[in-house]
Chain A
Amino acid sequence: MTLLDGYSQHTGADVIRHLRQLAEPLQGLKVVHVNSTRVGGGVAEILQKLVPLTRELGVDASWEVISGGEEFFVCTKHMHNALQGNRVDIPQVLLDAYEDTNARNAEQLRPLLEEADVVFIHDPQPAPLLALCPARRGKWIWRCHIDASHPHRPVWKYLRRHLTGYDASIFSLPDFAQPLPHPEYIIPPSIDPLSEKNTELEADEVDAVRERFGLDPERPLVLQVSRFDRFKDPLGVIRAHQLAKRFLPALQLVLAGGGASDDPEGALMVQEVQNEAAADDSVHVLLLPPDAHRTINALQRAADVVVQKSTREGFGLTVTEAMWKGKAVIGGDTGGIRLQVINFHTGFLVNTPEGAALRIRYLLHQREQLAEMGRKAREFVRENFLLTRQLREYLTLMLALRNSGADRIELG
């Protein structure tokens, strides 16, 4: 069975047929993706599947990873934070390391990149490569996976000069786009239905995870999966749980997320959450390793209601993941959550712990509604947020860029 066959089982054969036809004019095209890590993080996760899928469609896609030292990664971590709005100023010595690292990588990658028909540069790490490949003949696209809606201006000003030469850029939401002198495409992220995080699980495996964390299968379970970060409002979720528990005494809450050893602010947040949860044995705070994908998968399947009560959010892929598992989601009325959670259809948007509590009570009392919303949520993700949709949009973008960029392009 090919990879595409595997996806066909989730998307339907018509979607795969559509991809094949869309890829027809792109046969043999040399496409290179460049990022800065082969494993870990959302970008690598997507590329691990996107590249082989593109190859199956007859496009000569490859994936290159730039390497760098500690100073380089400190610099790009600062850039990432600054693009997200943190007021981080980057010392010149780190910017020098950033540029030197790109120059060194360019020496190795230049022949491949200059020959390529289309180059996708992911995030700020490899952005300077464009200027380091003066004999390039293809179209170069900068793919920004970060919420850059309110960047720290000095850092954006620096980065912008590496970006203006690109033929196009891609942002996940219109809100995230910053003015650049080329077309800025909007391609929301997606989830991979075949990944460990989203694949179907046997009931035994879900039961085992429940047992491991002392969760009672007979009692309703509310779950939030996210980093322990103020913008994810874990304290607000605990408050919502306490308010709802007055009406639903059997309610259990799980807050599951990564540890925060390298993030002093995150560690502080974990401490606050643990203090708040200490007095209530129905609240379970789970610090999970970054590769606990199957555990997260099982928790999402075990939950009756999933909450993502963010006060600020990029796209909110944890919402997408929960919806794919047929769960209604109570989400903060912000960012990409608004694109996914539709009141009374796929869940509820809320602004306060009180609002979240009210919707938890509603959903747990209206079990038929809960099931119906879960069904709609899964279908909504199937149609809009699976990897095949993202692949379709990459193919469309390549066709558009190679055909003059007119608003209407007729092929064949």
Chain B
Amino acid sequence: MMTDMRNQNTSPPVSDAERLFVVRDCALIAIATGRRALTLTELRDSLERVSADSIYFHFWGGLLQPRFEEREYNNDFAAWARHGLHDGILAERMAMLDPTQFEDIEELRQALLEVIDTRLDESEYLPWLRATQRFEFIRSQIVVFDTSRRLRQPAELAPLIGECSTSSVFYHFIDARRRQPDHRDDFQAWLAGFDGEYREQCDQLAGVDPYFGSLSELRQRLADIFQGISTGATA
């Protein structure tokens, strides 16, 4: 069971000795936990007990699952608050929780519980209101594998990204945020090792919000940024 977004795992994608970028890929599969919620109180109770990897899944892992490209909210709890409970206030507050701002999943869990408790205190009817859709707690398993590709120079990123699977983009740009000590993506972490030469691209990468587009769109955005490394132009 994962409990820490930063310390879990993992071999870094960058080999310090040669400053190689190790290209990895992943596949994620969903597992039912059997926990379901029809009221906010039930959601709260399950949230308190559900495994940390389930919380991870409902924030991040869902990006690799069937869903529409344009996400209204950045996590499944907020989406359920809006479309299941029809409570816009709760949905908005939940949507503002950014998992990268928390030390680990347990901290994120506590923040979620706090938002729910606050809302339950504010409303007389919410503790009893039945949602129009059940919330199904899902957890996931992620399989990470080495693609055998290695990059020596940042200029190799542009041709790489065009051929990358969307799950590889997920691994290096999204999953990385719980592996890297400062919640950066793998590309920034690698480029930062070139003595500030790619600061502009690092800033551009930091400005990419991965939540609201599809992984294909994200790949295109990254390709535009990496193109700037090859040509010296700004994306």
Binding site for B on A (CB under 8 A): 13-15, 17-18, 21-22, 24-25, 171, 174-175, 177, 179, 183-188, 338-339, 342, 345-346, 376, 379-380, 383-385, 392-393, 395-397, 399-400, 403, 405-412
**Cα distance A346–B136 in the bound complex, in angstroms:** 23
B111-119, B123-131, B142-150, B190-198 - the one binding chain A: B142-150
Minimal beta-carbon separation of B7 from chain A (angstroms): 12
Q: Which of B58-72 contact A (CB under 8 A)?
A: 66-70
Q: Which residues of A contact B167 (CB under 8 A)?
A: 18
Question: Nearest 9 CB-CB pairs, A to B?
Answer: A384-B66, A412-B146, A174-B136, A18-B165, A396-B27, A186-B30, A411-B145, A177-B32, A407-B53
The answer to whether A409 and B136 touch (CB under 8 A), given A177-B32, A188-B66, is no
Indicate if B104 sits at the interface (CB-CB under 8 A). no
0 or 1 for each of B31-56: is its CB under 8 Å from A? (1 = yes): 11010000000000000000101000
Q: Which residues of A contact B136 (CB under 8 A)?
A: 174-175
Contact B31 A408 (CB under 8 A): no
Q: Which residues of A contact B96 (CB under 8 A)?
A: none
Q: Which of B1-42 contact A (CB under 8 A)?
A: 1-2, 8-11, 25, 27-32, 34
| Number of CB contacts from chain A to chain B under 8 A | 112
Q: Which residues of A contact B32 (CB under 8 A)?
A: 171, 174, 177, 184-186
Minimal beta-carbon separation of A140 from chain B (angstroms): 17
Contact B139 A407 (CB under 8 A): yes
Best-surrounded residue of B29, B133, B146 (most CB of chain A within 10 A): B29
Q: Which residues of A contact B53 (CB under 8 A)?
A: 407
18 contacts between A and B (CB under 8 A): A14-B163, A17-B163, A18-B168, A21-B145, A22-B27, A174-B30, A177-B32, A186-B29, A338-B133, A346-B68, A393-B27, A396-B143, A399-B143, A406-B141, A407-B1, A407-B142, A410-B10, A412-B146
The answer to whether A396 and B141 touch (CB under 8 A), given A14-B163, A174-B136, A383-B214, is yes
Best-surrounded residue of B66, B143, B214 (most CB of chain A within 10 A): B143
Q: Which residues of B contact A380 (CB under 8 A)?
A: 68-69
Q: Which residues of A contact B141 (CB under 8 A)?
A: 396, 400, 405-409
Contact A24 B29 (CB under 8 A): no
Contact A410 B164 (CB under 8 A): no
The answer to whether A396 and B216 touch (CB under 8 A), given A408-B144, A409-B143, is no
**Cα distance A376–B11 in the bound complex, in angstroms:** 38
Q: Which residues of B contact A24 (CB under 8 A)?
A: 145
Indicate if B134 sits at the interface (CB-CB under 8 A). yes
**Cα distance A347–B65 in the bound complex, in angstroms:** 20
Contact A185 B34 (CB under 8 A): no
Q: Which residues of B contact A13 (CB under 8 A)?
A: 163
* Nearest B-chain residue to A384, judged by Cβ: B66
Minimal beta-carbon separation of A22 from chain B (angstroms): 6
Q: Which residues of A contact B30 (CB under 8 A)?
A: 174, 185-187
Contact B31 A184 (CB under 8 A): yes
Contact B145 A186 (CB under 8 A): no
Q: Which residues of A contact B9 (CB under 8 A)?
A: 408, 410
Best-surrounded residue of A18, A185, A342, A407 (most CB of chain B within 10 A): A407
Q: Which residues of B contact A187 (CB under 8 A)?
A: 29-30
Best-surrounded residue of B8, B31, B51, B142 (most CB of chain A within 10 A): B31
Indicate if B140 sits at the interface (CB-CB under 8 A). yes
**Cα distance A76–B220 in the bound complex, in angstroms:** 49
Contact A412 B145 (CB under 8 A): yes
Contact B165 A17 (CB under 8 A): yes
**Cα distance A406–B31 in the bound complex, in angstroms:** 12
Indicate if B100 sits at the interface (CB-CB under 8 A). no
Q: Which residues of A contact B51 (CB under 8 A)?
A: 407
Contact A408 B146 (CB under 8 A): no
With contacts A185-B31, A345-B68, A393-B27 known, what are 19 further pairs, Cβ within 8 A?
A15-B165, A18-B167, A18-B168, A21-B25, A25-B145, A171-B32, A174-B30, A177-B32, A183-B31, A185-B32, A186-B29, A345-B70, A346-B68, A383-B69, A399-B143, A400-B29, A400-B143, A409-B143, A410-B9
